[in-house]
Amino acid sequence: MARLFGTDGVRGLANADLSPELALSLAVAAAHTLPDSDREQPPLVVVGRDPRASGEMLEAAVVAGLASAGANVVRVGVLPTPGVAYLTAEVRADFGVMISASHNPMPDNGIKFFAAGGHKLTDEQEDAIEAALGATWTRPTGAQVGRVHDLLDGAEHYTTHLVQATGHPLAGLKVVVDCAHGAASDVAPEAFREAGAEVIAINAEPDGLNINDECGATHLGPLKAAVVEHGAHLGIAVDGDADRCLAVDASGAEVDGDQIMAILALAMRDAGALANDTLVATVMSNLGLRIAMREAGITLVETKVGDRYVLEELRAGGFSLGGEQSGHVVFTEHATTGDGVLTGLRLLARVAQTGKPLAELAAVVNRLPQVLINVRVADKAVARAPEILAAVAAAEAQLHGSGRVLLRPSGTEQLVRVMVEAASEDIAQKIAEDIAADVRAASPAV
């Protein structure tokens, strides 16, 4: 049977793959497995959601499941995923629940859990929840049934935390903030204003149906146009649950997660706040980031793709900064998960502190052309076949250290992803197509 949990919780088409019945069952199973078994008080659980319409239905199911299992629930309403993680730690809850499908389109939704302290679950904790689904249990009655309360000032607490973590006042900067009609539509503009910036908010009117709809971190076109139109110093875009952030400079040019991480790593190193002078990133980060960090004397530690693996490495190594090319950035001093609003605030703080435009700061990373081809295969193990490994080795020898080749089986689809970086787009494209053809021939899709 396929594992229910994916790389970021349980996700699917709302009211189909992800039904209220499943949401309720997941909540009950989490209430039975995540709190310490020897605790004397009823578990306390924080529950938040993004504004997609199905979130109302799924929140009701989750809250009902938790209360029926004897857990007390604190509802925080519509808040970014990192806001729910922050409040889970702040109120010392046993765990937290976020109902969101992040950057996915509106019809999808998801349920992700945070352990005590606001940390993502381990594989073992997720497996325990799955194993508890449908298990026989004794229902509490009377005074033992859980109670439900609303935390009306949760957004204010989270916003205050963001502003305090910004690090430098943003006075004199004009910023366009694209909220993706998502969970940060209120919090993000307010946090930037309180930190001192002049703010133009766009796509900040969620109606339950328009989240991520041609806007936000997955569609930068509206942000690029607005920055140029308003003559802003830069623009910031988050996704539907605001756990990731991308930027554009004053000309409307994109600044990706690798460039953002480089800017922030240098800022933290200069402030003596970059633990062990180390940045954690995934294997998908551009070679240009690796070169920039090496030249700056900063160690780059690589992980598998997925912010959970970045988080695991940050905690294991005691590091303070890590993230992904897609814009998930984690500051362990201030957050337990990727926080798009905090990332944007810290990026603006570096611009304000240095007096340099974002384009100049981002130029520290010379991004090599990167080509990605997805190859549908019968067996994803072909990525490790001797003849494919030999083809990759030959291609890397051809690049003479000026690029790299990465083959990665997809975690969710019957695909092998072929990624090539090279000094020119043409070279990268040619090598990627040749290796993709070898993979396709070695394991043709059925």
Q: Give the separation between CA 78 and CA 84, rounded to whole angstroms.
A: 9
C-beta atoms surrounding 18 within 10 Å: 24
Q: Give the separation between CA 13 and CA 15, rounded to whole angstroms.
A: 6
* Catalytic option among 102, 285, 326, 443: 102
Strands (E), 14-63: 44-49
* φ and ψ at residue 295, rounded to 5 degrees: -70, -25
Q: Give the separation between CA 260 and CA 349, rounded to whole angstroms.
A: 12
Using the structure block, give the residue that is written with the tokens 């490790």: 384
**357 residue type, one letter:** P
Reduced to 3 states, what is the DSSP secondary structure of residue 1?
coil
Residue 102 among the catalytic residues: yes
DSSP 40: S
CB distance 245 to 236 below 8 Å: yes
**190 residue type, one letter:** E
* DSSP string for 82-132: HHHHHHHHHTT-SEEEEE--TTS-TTEEEEEEEETTSPBPPHHHHHHHHHH
Tell whether the torsion through CA atoms of 6, 11, 12 and 18 is positive or negative.
positive
What interhelical angle do 340-354 and 187-194 show, nearest 10? 20
Of residues 325, 360, 153, the one with CA closest to residue 244: 325
Strands (E), 296-397: 299-303, 321-323, 329-331, 370-376
In the structure encoding, which two tokens stand for residue 231, read together? 């003559």
Reduced to 3 states, what is the DSSP secondary structure of residue 41?
coil
What contacts 24+ positions apart, CB below 8 Å, involve 396-400? Answer: 398/431, 399/427, 399/431
User: Which are the catalytic amino acids?
Assistant: 102
